[in-house]
Amino acid sequence: MLTKRPRGTSDILPGEVEKWQFIEKTMQDICREYNFKEIRTPIFEHTELFVRGVGEDTDVVDKEMYTFMDRGERSITLRPEGTAPVVRAYLENQMHTGPQPVKLYYTGPMFRYDRPQAGRYRQFHQLGVEVFGSQHPGVDAEVMAMAMNFFHRLGLKKMDLHINSVGCPRCRPRIRETLQNFFRPRLDELCPNCRGRFERNPLRIIDCKNDTCREVGKDAPTTLDCLCSECRKHFNEVCDYLQLLNVPYNVDNKLVRGLDYYTHTAFEIMAPDIGAQSSVGGGGRYNGLVEACGGPSLPGIGYALGIERIILAMEKQGVQVSSPPGPDVFVAVLDPQVKTKAFEILFGLRAKGIAVDQDYQNRSLKAQMKYASKTGARYTLFVGGDELQRGSAILREMATGNQEEVPLEKATEHIKQRLGE
Ligand code: HAM
């Protein structure tokens, strides 16, 4: 073998891929019900989009981006997340000039140069939604309800929704000052990263995973203590809507998201039983991002769910996805002279929507039968010289071994009828 796949990536094989298809299909169904339309943006963007959109001070931009110069000397980055690209596409394609809100969803690979471990990869996949152009607190509740509804539809019962408000530019100076006052006397106990964050973005200290920083920050004032009256009102209304929709939630006043664009509502959805990387999804409002990306001042809110972590949660919570069905029919040839005719029959059946396969390795009849049952075929159609002369072939049901001679001109109808039984 020439080389192995890069660290932190995976091959999704048959047997596993059905879980992905089930997850993606469930998301498509939910999005249709909530009236979200799909958008597909490039896998790579100009680096500047993420630096300005996600924020220079975040781990994602600072340490985790796959950035390179292309042959035209442009700095290009493999997308580490989907929100900034969707904002760019929303603006670039003038979607902000039409009726609002605009409700979009996307799915696809994202790239972060992080230390791989269970539930954390360098290429991972997200399902995401974004809503532009509405401040309405009902929209915040709707997107959270939608995500919880999606998990429920997958069969995941143990999922916890944590919500917080991280304030707006009006309450940020107060949040910043209150946190700086709290951390200042214990600054030298913080990790070097957090000491850097103290001036630039003290809110991020609350989110640090370092044990000492956590201990120091245990009794830190929270964003909820410092909200302006408008943010508080918005947050209370979001909670009211969630109650109205019967969506259980926990207010987690320590919840600070790892990306800088959030304002007002921030939330995460945890699967309690999948280990250290328990956050299966997260999102929130970003009322300043459209403007930061060069557009008008328009609000936005969204979330993204990690497919790999959804699969871990499904495995932990015993959600089964049925394995792929084999072909409906396996065409076996009884003698080599009828091979061409068998090929014709096979293509004739496929053209009528029947799933058919055959042997391409010149196997003996016995080996063809063994292979047919390995493929999981429901029926085998034996094509032989004698039967062909009578214009027919033998159809065998694999599960029972029952056989019948079927006229070839009626074979399609006959097989379809049997398959429907
Ligand atoms: P995020 O919290 O960075 O948010 O990522 C969302 C989800 O992607 C996580 O909860 C996790 O399931 C998955 N994820 C993130 N990093 C990895 C990784 N290295 N390996 C496996 N899964 C991972 C965002 O990306 C925002 N764009 C979400 C958003 C949309 N906010 C507003 N709109």
Ligand 1 near 114 CB (within 6 A): yes
The share of the chain scoring above pLDDT 70, in percent, equals 100
Centroid of ligand 1 to alpha carbon of 339 (angstroms): 53
Q: Measured in Å, how far apart are the chain's first and last C-alpha atoms?
A: 46
Rounded to the nearest whole angstrom, what is the distance from the C-alpha of residue 419 to the centroid of ligand 1? 43
User: Are β-strands 329-333 and 356-358 bridged in parallel, bridged antiparallel, or unpaired?
Assistant: parallel
Residue nearest to atom 2 of ligand 1 (CA): 282
At residue 206, the pLDDT reads 87
Atom of ligand 1 nearest to the CA of 309: 12
- Ligand 1, from 126, 156, 261: best to mutate by most atoms within 8 Å of Cβ? 126
∠ CA 271-274-279, rounded to 5°: 45
pLDDT the model gives residue 345: 97
The reported pLDDT for the residue numbered 277 is 84
Question: How large is the average pLDDT for residues 393-410?
Answer: 96
Separation of 3 CA from ligand 1 center, angstroms?
A: 29
Task: Give the three-state DSSP class for 284.
Answer: strand
Per-residue pLDDT at 421 exceeds 90: no
CA dihedral 341, 345, 351, 352 (to 10 degrees): 160
**Which is the closest atom of ligand 1 to the Cα of 121?**
20
Residue 274 has pLDDT above 90, yes or no: no
Compute the average pLDDT of residues 38-55.
96
What is the three-class DSSP state of 35?
Answer: coil
CB atoms within 10 A of CB 276: 10
Give the percent of the chain with pLDDT over 90: 88
With a 6 Å cutoff on the Cβ, whether 79 touches ligand 1 is no
* Rounded distance from Cα 335 to ligand 1 centre (Å): 57
Check if 282 has its Cβ closer than 6 Å to any atom of ligand 1. yes
Structure-block tokens of residue 296 = 């008008």
Is the CB of 309 within 6 Å of ligand 1?
A: yes
pLDDT at 207: 81
pLDDT over 90 (residue 57) = no
- Supply φ then ψ for residue 332, to 5 degrees: -110, 140
Find out whether the beta carbon of 308 lies less than 6 Å from any atom of ligand 1.
yes
Would you state the pLDDT for residue 416?
A: 96
Q: What angle do CA 200, 132, 296 make, to 5 degrees?
A: 65
| Mean pLDDT, the chain, integer | 95
Name the residue with higher pLDDT: 276 or 224.
Answer: 224
246 CA to middle of ligand 1, Å? 25
Three-class secondary structure of residue 37 per DSSP: strand
Q: What is the pLDDT of residue 200?
A: 85
d(CA 242, CA 238): 6
**Does residue 204 register a pLDDT over 90?**
no
Identity of the residue numbered 21: Q
Type of residue found at 325: P
CB atoms within 10 A of CB 397: 14
- Determine the 3-state secondary structure of 277 from DSSP: coil
Q: Cα(421)–Cα(415) distance, rounded to whole angstroms?
A: 10
Distance in Å, CA 269 to ligand 1 centroid = 11
Q: What SS3 class is residue 170?
A: coil
Residue 236 tokens, joined: 């209370």
Indicate if ligand 1 lies below 6 Å from the C-beta of 328: no
Model pLDDT, residue 208: 84
β pairing state of 66-69 and 379-383:
unpaired
Sheet holding 263-270, edge to edge: 37-38, 102-111, 123-132, 300-306, 279-285, 263-270, 160-165, 250-251
pLDDT tier at 209, thresholds 50, 70, 90: confident
Are 78 and 42 in contact by the 8 Å Cβ rule? The answer is: no
Checking if the pLDDT of 273 tops 90, the result is no
Q: How far is CA 118 from CA 229, 278, 315, in A?
A: 41, 10, 13
* CA 404 / ligand 1 centre spacing (Å): 56
Question: Which pLDDT value is given to residue 201?
Answer: 85
The predicted structure's pLDDT at residue 196: 87
Query: Which atom, in ligand 1's list, is nearest to the CA of 64?
Result: 19
**Rounded-to-10 torsion of CA 348, 352, 353, 357:** -10
